[in-house]
Amino acid sequence: MELFENGSKGDKRLCASFDIVSVSGKVTEEASTMNKTLKSEIDTELKDLNNSGGCSEKSGLLNNQKGQTHRPLTLLRVIRGVLCLVVLFTTAFTTLVFLTPVSFVILRLFSIHYSREATSFLFDHWLAIWPLLFEKINKTKVVFAGDSVPPRERILLISNHRTEVDWMYMWDLALRKDRLGYIKYILKSSVRNVPIFGWGFYILEFILIERKWELDKPVIESMLATFKDPRDPLWLVLFPEGTDFTEQKCMQSQQFAEKHGLPILNNVLLPRTKGFTACMDSLQGSLDAVYDVTIGYKYRYPLFMDNVFGVDPAEVHLHIRRVPIDEIPPGEDGGAAWLNEAFRCKDELLSTFSKEGCFPDSGIEGELPTFKCFFNLAVMVIATGFFFAIIIISSVWLKIFLVLSCVYFASATYFNCRPTPILGYLKGWMSRGSTLISSDQQAL
């Protein structure tokens, strides 16, 4: 039996070629018939795979999620990973319950802009722990390619969605551009159920959707309406595929594309265009550019716990294409056509990455400064220890405050409600009052 791998499909296919020879050197009639039947079935299957293009081109550089991890999971890595999770949870908890009641609740009653500035400052330091974990502790190499990213732009960032941790590597780019606290995602609503972190997603104003357009449209439009202030820095991240990539989803996407005359994609899914066009329409006039980001992994597509324990990935490659906002056609049809073409190019780019192991024009960003990253971590850990010491020795009133803070953020996250500025409320109330008085005078 001869074993070989069908690279165009991305799976390991076992194909048998029987050469059954009798003792006298002649092939028996039964063996010959079996040989021809099996070869015929194999040729038919391979022909179908070649005609369909297969899903997710593969070379020796890239393995699927069932492949071997890049680094072995040792006891030391388990202990280190658990310690990292403890640090991430405790620092998040203290930042949320001690500091954000002031920055997110009290300040927001007077100014959304200054509330966002203060909240972004706090979370800029907490989120910086994640790139430190990826690049400095886990030793994952993060390589940027394509166009240089100008600082201080308001952007919509679109990306392919290969695995559940794609969105975390956007933090590595945002940290280098001093925009870490201003990054916002459009994600599935189930992330709000993640303990502690779900509160953070709510406070950072991530847009959480159900992936049902009739339910998501009003949520997206109402949230984007609050992001139009040009004084507020904005990095809004959207994954137009709507879900992470799998072989089964790829085949379903290809069948849909063939039926509707759309490009047949092998490395990405067909994008869902309504969310993209809704973002473009809602933020019209307030964006500087769209960043088209393509993510590739070596050698294995990582899961969340792979990142925690540092076993994968070995390298993360991000290709960035900056598109000025005036180069994207307006309207729903024009935006949809542009997005489909962008994902066709993204598919070709990933095919090149699969073969060569890198994107063109790599090396546009430098490494993170080691001292600055670890100094930030030390400050966060010391501050967390200080806050926990206060909890232990504090009076009952502070403990009541912490309980109320937890209850507030749990309920506010669940119901997705945010404080409204008092001045805005008073202005609206006075405006309605003057309108009623005016109407009464006209009636008289």
pLDDT at position 442 is 55
Domain count across the chain:
2
Q: Is the pLDDT of residue 383 over 90?
A: yes
Position 11 scores a pLDDT of: 41
More confident residue, 363 or 48: 363
Look at residue 191 in the predicted model and tell me its pLDDT: 86
Residues 295/162, Cβ–Cβ less than 8 Å: yes
**Residue with more model confidence, 13 or 260:** 260
User: Do 115 and 249 sit in the same domain of this protein?
Assistant: yes
**Are 238 and 343 within one domain?**
yes
| Residues 119 and 19 grouped into a single domain | no
For residues 220 and 368, state if they share a domain.
yes
- Tell which of 375, 404, 422 closes a domain: 375
CATH number, residue 164:
3.40.1130
**pLDDT confidence of 2, banded at 50, 70, 90?**
very low
What's this model's pTM, rounded to 2 decimal places?
A: 0.81
Does 437 score more than 80 pLDDT? no
47 and 185: one domain?
A: no
Question: pLDDT for 52-107, tens place per residue?
Answer: 444 544 444 444 444 566 788 999 999 999 999 999 999 999 999 999 999 999 99
In the sheet with 289-298, reading across from the earlier edge strand, the strands are 141-146, 315-324, 289-298, 155-159, 235-238, 183-188, 207-209
Q: Are residues 46 and 91 in the same domain?
A: no
- CB neighbours of 13 closer than 8 A, spacing ≥ 6? 4, 5, 6, 45
Whether residues 169 and 44 share a domain: the answer is: no
Using the CB atoms, write b or e for 366-385: b if 16+ within 10 Å. eebeeeebeebbeebeebbe
CB distance 57 to 7 below 8 Å? yes
Contact (CB, 8 A) for 61 and 317: no
For residue 184, the SS3 value is: strand
Has residue 5 got a pLDDT over 60? no
Q: Are residues 166 and 255 in the same domain?
A: yes
Q: What is the SS3 assignment for 9? A: coil
When pLDDT is averaged across residues 300-311 and rounded to a whole number, the result is 91
- Across the range 7-15, mean pLDDT stands at 37
146: its two tokens: 């394509």
Find the domain containing 114 and state its range: 75-375
Judge if 222 and 329 occupy the same domain. yes
Residue 34 parent element (H or E) = helix 29-52
In DSSP terms, 293 is beta-bridged to: 159, 320
- pLDDT tens readout for residues 307-343: 999 999 999 999 999 999 999 998 899 999 999 999 9
CA distance 395 to 144: 50
Q: Which of 351, 375, 399 is the last residue of a domain?
A: 375
Instruction: Give tens-digit pLDDT for 164-191.
Output: 899 999 999 999 999 999 999 998 888 8
Asked, for residue 198, whether it belongs to a domain, the answer is yes
The answer to whether residue 362 scores a pLDDT higher than 80 is yes
Task: Examine the domain organization and report whether 43 and 85 are in the same domain.
Answer: no
| Local structure of residue 128 (DSSP, 8 states) | T
Q: What ranges make up the beta strands (E) of 150-300?
A: 155-159, 183-188, 207-209, 235-238, 289-298
Give the per-residue pLDDT at 67. Answer: 54
**Per-residue model confidence (pLDDT) at position 32:** 46
Token duo for residue 226: 């609050």
Report in angstroms the alpha-carbon separations of 82 from 76, 139, 233, 382: 10, 17, 34, 19
Higher-confidence residue of 441 and 136: namely 136
Q: What is the mean pLDDT of the chain?
A: 83
Write out the DSSP string of 314-365.
Answer: SEEEEEEEEEEGGGSPPHHHHHHHHHHHHHHHHHHHHHHHHHHSS-TTB--S
Bridging pattern class, strands 289-298 and 155-159: parallel
Residue 121 has pLDDT above 90, yes or no: yes
Is 150 inside a domain boundary? Answer: yes
Q: How much of the chain exceeds pLDDT 70, in percent? A: 80
Q: What is the pLDDT of residue 254?
A: 94
pLDDT at 33 over 70: no
Is 400 contained in some domain?
Answer: no
DSSP 8-state symbol, 28: P
Please tell me whether residues 14 and 133 are part of one structural domain.
no
Whether residue 210 is found in the same domain as residue 331: yes
pLDDT value for 439: 54
Residue 404 lies in a domain: no
392 occurs within a structural domain:
no
Domain ends where: 375, 397, 431? Answer: 375
155 against 46, higher pLDDT: 155
Beta strand 141-146 with 207-209: parallel, antiparallel or unpaired? Answer: unpaired
Judge whether 363 lies within some domain: yes
Q: Is 410 contained in some domain?
A: no
Query: Tell me, what's the pLDDT at 305?
Result: 93
**Amino acid 140: pLDDT:** 94
CA distance 42 to 2: 13
Average pLDDT for 274-284: 94
161 compared with 37, residue with greater pLDDT:
161
Give mean pLDDT, residues 406-422. 90
Tokens representing 321 are 């294409």
What is the per-residue pLDDT for 150? 87
Is 442 part of a structural domain of the chain? no
Of the candidates 406, 413, 376, the one whose C-alpha atom is nearest the C-alpha of residue 391 is: 406
Lowest mean pLDDT among 16-30, 114-128, 244-258, 418-432: 16-30
Helices (H) and strands (E) in the chain, counts: 15, 7
